Amino acid sequence: IFPWIPTQSAMDLVRPLIAFLLVACGASVPTRLVSRNNVRLHSYPSIVQRLSRQIVRSMASRRDIGRGLSLSLGGILGSSLGHSHARQMLQSSELNTINVFKRSIPSVVFIDTFIQSSRGGFSMDPVDIPAGTGSGFVWDRDGHIVTNFHVIRNAQTAKVAISDPKLKNVNTYQAKLVGFDPDKDIAVLKVDAPQSVLRPLQIGTSADLDVGQGAIAIGNPFGLDHTLTVGVVSGLGRQVMAPSGRPIFNVIQTDASINPGNSGGPLLNSDGEAIGINTAIFSPSGASSGVGFAIPIDTVKTIANTLIEKGQVLRPQLGVSLFDTAALKAFGVDIDGVAVLQVAPGSPAEQAGIMGMSRLSTGDLQIGDILINVGGDEIKVESDIFKALEKHQPGETIDVVVLRSGKERIDFKVKLGQARLPGSSFGTSTPPSIGGFHGS
């Protein structure tokens, strides 16, 4: 081949080059070699290994220049094979999760909450005492941050930490409270941050979710910022209790690990779109048990936009307290419906003539009215009443049907009142009351 080099030496130099080309092809083309007799041979990597061993044995007895070329080529081959093998080990789903996480980091925030107290001694200057931590995410470029109400309900002030994708650092901003909805466990904060820092999270929909599809949770459990956990949507249509004591409907169940500090962070689909807000876990110990819950994003969109526009969410009220349905059946009343325990004075229910339970002179309880239909929706359990009322607005007149004394059917026209929502100590100078809501 080369006149000044013996033929055998030339082959010794060419064979490593052939091996290198085989490696390059083998890394991208998974085709197998076939011999002249149409007999299937080993795949490229196997051929390379055998050929390399033969080359090394041959080069050991050849000139130094050949040995040097073999050693240099061996380093290149090892590096190429190692890199190719590492990339092949990552599945497409893993690469997608990595990309979703990287895109979402600037949008997921860390929330520190505080209560204020005096320094003591001769100083009356207030000092911030940490009250808790949580998560949230950027809603828009106006600086609105969406989180859970229970993250901020016992706080007087809060700080929001946002990752700056350009400067590769974290900036902390004082937060203002825009509004909250304890019935849905949603709150909206606002920070005065430059638009270059504010990266709104991509919002999806929860209307077309399927059990088994991927779910990605990002938050700050135990104060560990930007922690990612992966799972699936484990169930749909679940029900959890809000801080106000009302049920939240159509909640998403997931096995993506959710721990204290994850509250308020987003639950994402495989496209990186928010499908819910992580809000609760089912666990006797308080740690993740593989059963987590997220408020559906379609509910969040409605509440968050209302809070941003009006500062509050108005809900209708009948003005009744309810008797437990299971206890009602224990009294021998086996009918579908919910018994009215008490009627609030001056409430829409009292004005319409709805009656609660009363105690007879004998000391026995007398069952009053049993709600069987509210606004055209059948009532079988307590949560049905809240679900029915969510379809209406304060001031609206609806039909309410009851059974009196368990047999007489009565129809009422009820003009709904406005529910009084629990308050929050956020932004006040008064510490929250223990075990409840300040100002409720």
- Note the Cα 425 to chain centre separation in Å: 25
Tokens matching residue 391? 């379809």
pLDDT in tens, 288-301: 556 889 999 999 99
Write down the catalytic residue from 107, 144, 150, 183: 150
Ramachandran quadrant class, 332 (left: phi over 0; alpha: psi -120 to 50; beta: rest): left
Indicate the residue type of 155: A
Q: Tens of pLDDT along 181-192?
A: 999 999 999 999
Q: Look up 369 and say whether it is catalytic.
A: no
Distance from C-alpha of 343 to C-alpha of 351, rounded to nearest angstrom? 10
Confidence of residue 426 (pLDDT cuts 50, 70, 90): low
Which tens digit of pLDDT belongs to each residue from 311-330? Answer: 888 889 899 988 877 777 77
Average pLDDT estimate for 106-117: 89
Backbone angles phi, psi at 59, to 5 degrees: -70, -20
| pLDDT at site 124 | 59
Q: What is the mean pLDDT of the chain?
A: 77
Helix boundaries (H) for 256-324:
297-310
| 205 SS3 class | coil
Q: Report CA-CA distances (Å) from 115 to 48, 127, 129, 148, 251.
A: 67, 8, 5, 18, 31
Residue pair 316/286 in contact by the 8 Å Cβ criterion: no
Q: What angle is formed at CA 279 by the lines to CA 157 and CA 390, rounded to 5 degrees?
A: 100
- Contact between residue 265 and residue 278 where contact means Cβ atoms under 8 Å apart: yes
Domains and CATH numbers, the chain: 7-89 (no CATH), 105-191 (2.40.10.10), 214-310 (2.40.10.10), 316-418 (2.30.42.10)
Burial environment of residue 128 by CB neighbours within 10 A (0 to 12, 13 to 18, 19 or more): middle
| Cβ pair 16, 66 in contact under 8 A | no
Q: Which two tokens stand for residue 120?
A: 């003591």
The model's pLDDT over 346-361, given as tens digits with 9 standing for 90+, comes to 999 999 999 998 888 8
pLDDT at 60 over 80: no
Q: Which of 19-23, 50-54, 225-229 has the highest mean pLDDT?
A: 225-229
Weakest mean pLDDT among 48-62, 81-95, 231-245, 315-329: 48-62
Q: How confident is the model at residue 40 (pLDDT cuts 50, 70, 90)?
A: very low
pLDDT at 27: 44
Q: What is the pLDDT of residue 365?
A: 77
pLDDT at 62: 46
More confident residue, 370 or 20: 370
Rounded Cα distance between 336 and 318, Å, is 19
Q: Show Cβ contacts of residue 79 under 8 Å, excluding neighbours closer than 6 positions.
A: none
**Of the residues 183, 185, 225, 369, which is catalytic?**
185
Which of 192, 151, 186, 154 shows the shortest CA–CA distance to 173?
192
Distance of alpha carbon 94 from alpha carbon 82, whole angstroms: 19
Task: Tell me the β-bridge partners of 189.
Answer: 145, 177
- Do 116 and 157 touch, CB atoms closer than 8 A? yes
Q: Is 185 a catalytic residue?
A: yes
Catalytic, 150? Answer: yes
Residue 215 has pLDDT above 90, yes or no: yes
- Beta-carbon contacts of 243 under 8 Å, excluding residues fewer than 6 positions away, are 149, 150, 153, 182, 185, 422, 437
Choose the catalytic residue: 52, 163, 263, 425.
Answer: 263
Higher pLDDT, 15 or 432: 15
Alpha carbons 363 and 366: distance in angstroms, whole number: 9
180 Cβ contact list (under 8 Å, min separation 6): 149, 152, 153, 186, 187, 188, 307, 424, 426
First to last CA, the chain: 94
Residue 24 has pLDDT above 90, yes or no: no
Give backbone dihedrals phi and psi of 201, rounded to 5 degrees, phi first.
-70, 145
pLDDT digits (tens, 9 = 90+) for 156-202: 899 999 987 676 788 999 999 999 999 999 999 999 999 889 999 99
Share of the chain above pLDDT 70, in %: 70
Instruction: Place 64 in a pLDDT band, splitting at 50, 70 and 90.
Output: very low
Q: Give the separation between CA 394 and CA 283, rounded to whole angstroms.
A: 37
